[in-house]
Amino acid sequence: MRNPRKWYAGRVSLRPVPLALVCAGAMARALSAPELAEPPPASQKMLVEAFQFVTDSEQEDRDRSRHGFPGDIWSEDDDFHLAEAKRARTFAVSRSMSLSDVLAAVDMGLRARWQPTRSVVLLSTVPPCHPRPND
């Protein structure tokens, strides 16, 4: 019968030690980092500007999505909302606003029927889900 200590001797590698030290250092730095400051609440004017910025290209974004997913309205809508979310993030970063305020502005604007800066037909409905047939 083999001696378990003898069998294990020489097989222990110290290669993971530097990685473990780096991970421990990163964890300590993350835990000791100061909290990010919350952006100030958005004014009504900023909310309207956010709504207009996000909705101004709705028609072009919907057309692009329609061409990308012909006949699949559910995927068209998903693709459109991806483009809409990117515009919302762009506006939030450029104006030091929270993304939740920008998205809330779009929601409020749709409910209150705010006017976009261009004459764009805004859709506030969701297409019915019709699963794709199995390919």
- Count up the domains in the chain and report the number: 1
* pTM for this prediction: 0.67
Q: Is 119 a member of any domain?
A: no
Q: Is 31 a member of any domain?
A: no
The reported pLDDT for the residue numbered 124 is 77
What would the mean pLDDT of 106-114 be, rounded to a whole number?
Answer: 92
Return the percent helix, strand and coil in the chain, to nearest 5: 60, 0, 40
Chain segment 23-44, per-residue pLDDT in tens? 899 999 999 888 877 888 899 9
Structural domain harbouring 86: 44-112
The tokens describing 35, both together, are 């909290």
Chain segment 58-91, per-residue pLDDT in tens? 889 989 999 998 888 888 889 999 999 999 999 9
CA distance 102 to 92: 6
Look up tokens 């459109």; give the residue: 80
Q: Is 87 a member of any domain?
A: yes
The reported pLDDT for the residue numbered 93 is 94
Picking from 103, 101, 105, the residue whose alpha carbon sits closest to that of residue 40 is 101
CA distance 2 to 16: 27
